[in-house]
Structure 1
């Protein structure tokens, strides 16, 4: 059992989650019911594009002829999704740039499968409106809230580099998005690096001002991932999923007002805020590419250089079979 697997399983057990154990129930049911689906796809998702597929039920309709039953589990961010994959609780999920790098370094057997267009404006560093911080150069000595191992972790590295600030000259405060928002609003931290839709929400309701976003610094793609075992046996399922994701992506790009209505209901976020999210989003879904692979390697190398990874990793080991 690798270290990532061991730590992840203990974390799941300690938190009372039984996803890994419950995931065997559908298979047992299928053995006793000849009319039951013959395959299963357990999807982890965040507040993003996959939300709309879940809300509409279109993926279930698409996969039914393949004998596939779909289950959904929502997560607050990417790192716990990769933990869930590693303990066998999900088969597919969506994640930002940095979490896969940390997961691979810890031995998680995931595989990149698809990618979005770059979305650099969809994450940013914010400060309270009355903060004296006007530029990244003024972050030295500050407490910055963010989710450890998330896409914003890499944005922090890039922001500091632009201002010639050492990573050790700031104090990262590792918090989930909900806890970080509370700390930010109570001014327990000086700044917060966060992604949409949380970014748009705090802009609209949290007395926040953007100091810098990811434009010109990061790609901030989202990736769709699976396990090596699942892709080897169910590539037809995953291809269908990526096609449905791409179709939804295209529809949102050309029907933003209607999409905002759906996302508002699914996220519990007012429509004007959703419009902000959709306006700065970049659209396009495609299979995982060599260009993205190279960018992920540069991210891994940056974390290793700062000794945030225990060893250098070869990102190509997590490439899908068609890129081998």
Structure 2
């Protein structure tokens, strides 16, 4: 009798364990499903210090626009455009903002990306400078000198165009490539290079805090200096309406920025811990705005890619339009 009762108890225990295991599996499956669903509702956006996406992050307009649709925004900061685009290829972000030169390098190496929009021209946001104490007063005097640039950056392109306008070529100077804008300033300030090309807000910082002469002041060399918005091919193909909504919100944020430049300078200064005078200089000299891709924008990007091939910055000729849909 005892053996029979023990056998019945063991059978009940086994059935209970199977039932509990099944319930546990169902719970884990539901939890995983919930997590996957939550991940799909998170949009990962990459930005750089002081750019339009940085402004959008601080004013929260995108969160307000997408909250009713169940989306959350995850912001990730990158030190420069090349690093941001690496984040795009790796899937760390879905959408981001980087300069024209970074995109050309990415396309030249076959990286997957889609240009989905562009900023308004900002030729004032890049420049080529020398220390006043150097005695250099013209671009022509840079022949044989050392120029610091981030390789292939928008300011690198500006410097090449400036040299050509003075009858020089890219081979007439020695290029020095720092790892980032901060190191570029350091080698310039310590006179390891004779000139520095840079981009805002770092360009504005050097102009504000050091005694410099900007050799490219007032010149744009037919270079619009547009930065671009990018998406992964998957995000673009599967969420085109969302991409358009993000761009529309960026443009709304940009219009707000144009009308509230003092507030923008204060907002970005506090967010980044950069002197407000520096951010004010950057903000005051540009017009904000975002648009889709047009033929004019493609043509300007193509000229830049052709120049990069001409001066051996990229290994082969490139058709930029293949990743620049006009929609």
State TM-score, norm by structure 1.
0.86
Partner of 1:155: 158
**What runs of 5+ residues in structure 2 fail to find an aligned partner?**
1-29
Give the alignment of 1:68-83 within 5 angstroms.
68-83=71-86
Q: In structure 2, the residue corresponding to 1:130 is in which secondary structure?
A: helix
For structure 1, which segment, 277-286 or 244-253, has the greater mean C-alpha deviation from structure 2 after superposition?
A: 277-286
Partner of 2:187: 183
Q: In structure 2, the residue corresponding to 1:152 is in which secondary structure?
A: helix
Cα pair 1:155 1:218 within 8 Å, conserved: yes
Partner of 1:60: 63
For 2:45 and 2:32, the matched residues in 1 are separated by: 19
Partner of 1:205: 209
Q: Relative to structure 1, is the Cα distance of residues 277 and 38 closer, same or farther in structure 2, using a 3 angstrom cutoff?
A: same
Give the alignment of 1:15-54 within 5 angstroms.
31-33=33-35, 36=38, 38-47=40-49, 48-54=51-57
Partner of 1:195: 199
For 2:300 and 2:32, the matched residues in 1 are separated by: 41
Partner of 1:311: 316
Give the alignment of 1:187-266 within 5 angstroms.
187-213=191-217, 215-266=220-271
For 1:242 and 1:29, the matched residues in 2 are separated by: 33
**What runs of 5+ residues in structure 1 fail to find an aligned partner?**
1-27
For 2:118 and 2:211, the matched residues in 1 are separated by: 33
CA RMSD of aligned residues (A): 1.9
For 1:30 and 1:235, the matched residues in 2 are separated by: 27
Cα pair 1:144 1:170 within 8 Å, conserved: yes
- Number of aligned positions between the proteins: 295
- What displacement does 1:58 show? 2.7
For 2:308 and 2:228, the matched residues in 1 are separated by: 19
Question: For the pair shown, which has the larger CA radius of gyration, 1 or 2?
Answer: 2
Q: Which segments of structure 1 move beyond 6 Å, counting only runs of 4 or more? A: none
